[in-house]
């Protein structure tokens, strides 16, 4: 497959990444505005080997760079959020991380918010170092938000919570994930009768208490999980919802899964958009179709 040249990006009237950084607003406020202006779609940047091959690209740093730049070119000036998966960049070592740095920089400069999907989790100074890698304002990989794992105890995330508040960034904490194996931890029942997932949601609700228009501390909740009415998902924070598209969920499923909390859902679509590459126009059109379907589903409730 011959990879076509990337056309010039159409002008955008949205705030640039530098304008967002200078605003001093917390992540939740910036996310709420971006979702209201552009729709709540989050497009994943997942350059795994099979997708690079589908695009006619080599599984090397050059292919990684071309893939990532094309996705940013096609979508960053019109979708609310881009979510690079750190692992697909890290596998190429320092040169892959350099591509990730450039991807984050260019996406934010075009006006998209960036959620770094790194799922970091540890304790003490190690957790603090992970947080500094992605949430410290002058860090090369500084992102608007970071996915984190709380399964060393929610309190282990305190260094990341504190730095996110200081930097105006956000966190997305794994709570109810879409992988089948997640249930053995997340559905485990504590001595107080509440399961682990519900406990994580309660912690996040406490972090977001009193924040307007939206708190900055969100949960990862799979869109494929069906009826979640037994959980209080209204945490006054965003809900990052993987599973739309290739994993089987559709935008129409969102109100049924998330109930009244659907207004704060950030649905993530990766392969459903990325499979249209490397054609920039086709990628852009796919993202806009998903964004419109999600907007209709969310506002219909």
Catalytic: which of 119, 136, 137, 158? 119
Q: Is 119 a catalytic residue?
A: yes
Question: What is the Cα 220 distance to its own chain's centre?
Answer: 9
Q: In the structure encoding, which two tokens stand for residue 205, read together?
A: 């609700």
Question: What is residue 173's three-state secondary structure?
Answer: strand
> In angstroms, rounded to a whole number, what is the distance separating the alpha carbons of residues 45 and 121?
21
Q: In the structure encoding, which two tokens stand for residue 18, read together?
A: 């530098």
Number of C-beta neighbours around residue 9 at 10 A: 15
> In angstroms, rounded to a whole number, what is the distance separating the alpha carbons of residues 227 and 33?
28
| Burial classification of residue 56, based on how many CB atoms lie within 10 Å of its CB (0-12 exposed, 13-18 middle, 19 or more buried) | middle
> In angstroms, rounded to a whole number, what is the distance separating the alpha carbons of residues 204 and 219?
8
> In angstroms, rounded to a whole number, what is the distance separating the alpha carbons of residues 20 and 81?
13
> In angstroms, rounded to a whole number, what is the distance separating the alpha carbons of residues 299 and 110?
26
- For residue 165, CA distances in Å to 5, 28, 108, 120 come to 41, 11, 19, 17
Residue appearing with tokens 């992540």: 27
> In angstroms, rounded to a whole number, what is the distance separating the alpha carbons of residues 201 and 217?
10
- Return the active site residues: 119
């Amino acid at each position: 497959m011959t990879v076509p040249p990337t056309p010039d990006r159409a002008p955008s009237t949205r705030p640039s990444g530098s304008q967002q950084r200078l605003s001093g607003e917390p992540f939740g406020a910036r996310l709420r505005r971006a979702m209201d202006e552009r729709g709540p779609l989050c497009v994943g940047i997942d350059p795994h080997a099979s997708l690079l091959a589908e695009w006619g690209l080599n599984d090397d740093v050059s292919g990684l760079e071309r893939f990532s730049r094309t996705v940013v070119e096609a979508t960053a000036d019109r979708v609310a959020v881009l979510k690079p998966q750190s692992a697909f960049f890290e596998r190429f070592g320092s040169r892959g991380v350099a591509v990730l740095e450039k991807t984050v920089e260019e996406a934010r400069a075009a006006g998209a918010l960036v959620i770094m999907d790194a799922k970091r989790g540890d304790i003490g100074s190690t957790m603090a170092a992970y947080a500094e890698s992605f949430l410290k304002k002058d860090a090369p990989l500084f992102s608007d938000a970071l996915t984190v794992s709380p399964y060393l105890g929610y309190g282990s995330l305190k260094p990341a919570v504190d730095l996110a508040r200081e930097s105006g960034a956000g966190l997305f904490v794994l709570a109810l994930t879409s992988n089948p194996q997640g249930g053995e931890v997340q559905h485990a029942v504590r001595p107080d009768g509440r399961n682990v997932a519900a406990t994580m949601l309660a912690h996040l609700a406490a972090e977001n208490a009193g924040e307007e228009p939206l708190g900055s501390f969100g949960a990862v909740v799979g869109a494929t999980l069906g009826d979640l009415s037994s959980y209080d998902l209204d945490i006054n924070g965003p809900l990052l919802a993987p599973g739309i598209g290739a994993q089987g969920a559709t935008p129409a499923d969102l109100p049924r899964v998330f109930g009244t909390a659907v207004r704060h859902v950030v649905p993530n679509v990766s392969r459903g958009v990325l499979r249209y590459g490397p054609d920039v126009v086709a990628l852009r059109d796919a993202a806009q179709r998903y964004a419109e379907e999600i907007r209709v589903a969310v506002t219909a409730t």
